[in-house]
Every structure is written in C-alpha cells, then in structure tokens.
Amino acid sequence: MRPRILVIEDNAQNMYLVRYLLEMNGCEVAGAEDGPTGIALASGMSPDVILLDIQIPVMDGYAVAKALRANPALDAVPIVAVTSYAMAGDRERILAAGADDYIEKPIDPARFPSQVLAHVPRSSGGMKEDAR
C-alpha cells in the first residue's frame, strides 16, 4: 500500500516541495490550505499521517491538532507539526496540543521523507514497526 499523507500548509512553495518529496517516495498526498478544510479532508480519507503547519489561516495548528484529537475517528492518526515557529516552548506547546512529532522548517529534503515515513506502519508502506 502507498502511504497516504495529508498536508495542511498555506504556503504554496512549501506545499509544492513537500508534495514533490513525498510523491517521489511513493506517497499519495492530499493538501489543504487551512485547518477546517484539512479536518474535513482527514475525515474522508483517513490518512496515515497528517503534516500540520502551525501558522495557517482560520484556525492555527494548535487548534487543528486539538480538534483532530477530539475526533474519535481521527484521534489515533499521527500528527507531525512542520513549522518555522521555533521559539522556545513551541515544541512543547504543539506536542501538548496533540502532535506526535515536530519537524523544523526549512525542511531538509534528504531527511524529510524518512522523518514522515517513520510514523507510517510498514503494512501501509512506511517505516514504523507494525503493532502486534
């Protein structure tokens, strides 16, 4: 199976780069430019991982992570925050809001695909040990 990744990101250049790197590595990628659109897409596609920018319109990434975690259909989907918002405390804050991991921008193109696939079970085409 191909890993299915939902990317919630409002910057078109970042979206293009992330989509390119993930598709090059065999992923199916769906994109949303704001939180409510991303949450609606997530409900329909049940992604293997959600990549979440923090600075996005309408709802910020913290609110999106909390909303995903409050949704019983989505609360087990790994959320990886991807953001340049690198002030002290932000990592703790997005993890407290429900994210599982954090990747800082600018992303490293050589490492990025494996940083994402580390959260996808092998049975879905990723690198994470399947739960037994």
Please give the residue ranges that form the binding site for Mn ion (CB under 5 A): 10, 53, 55
How near is the Cβ of 96 to Mn ion at its closest, in Å? 20
Q: How far apart are CA 28 and CA 15, in angstroms?
A: 14
Q: How far apart are CA 5 and CA 117, in angstroms?
A: 9
Contact between 36 and 71 (Cβ < 8 Å): no
Nearer to Mn ion, 53 or 101 (CB): 53
How near is the Cβ of 30 to Mn ion at its closest, in Å? 17
How near is the Cβ of 76 to Mn ion at its closest, in Å? 25
Nearer to Mn ion, 104 or 121 (CB): 104
How near is the Cβ of 124 to Mn ion at its closest, in Å? 27
Nearer to Mn ion, 107 or 120 (CB): 107
Peptide bond into 109 cis (omega under 30): no
Nearer to Mn ion, 84 or 124 (CB): 84
Contact between 31 and 19 (Cβ < 8 Å): yes
Query: Position 98: which residue type?
Result: G
